[in-house]
Structure 1
Amino acid sequence: MANLVPATVGSVSGLATVLVGAPWWVPVLCLVLALLVTTVQVIFPQDSTDRLAWWTDRRAHKQRRRSGQ
């Protein structure tokens, strides 16, 4: 899996350059959203078997919490 952080920061920097003259919060919002998407991709498993195991474990954990165990 490729690390998307450098590409994200580079593309957001380019976007911020295009948005010169926009309110300060627009480029900041774009940067935060881009980093959030990249972080989610890094944290959550991308391989389908790992993803299935993660969701299965999460579902079992929630069911145990609901039943009070």
Structure 2
Amino acid sequence: MPNNEVERSPPPSSDAELCRLLLEIRRGEVIHPRLKRMLIHLGFAELRGLQLALTGKGRLLLET
């Protein structure tokens, strides 16, 4: 008998998690170093000195 929990497709993803992370960056909260690198790689954040800051792309996502 198949398990319905396993066979269900995942719910459609939203930008909610990404927006939550970008808000944490805006507030200056500390996030995992690998997550920082990923957000920089994707263009949502950049390093300014030792501080992580949102790029225009990151700010635009938060405004939508």
- Which structure is higher in helix share? 1
Question: TM-score when scaled to structure 2?
Answer: 0.24
Question: TM-score when scaled to structure 1?
Answer: 0.24
Which structure is higher in RCO with an 8 Å CA cutoff and minimum separation 6? 1
- Which structure is higher in strand share? 2
* Structure label with greater radius of gyration: 1
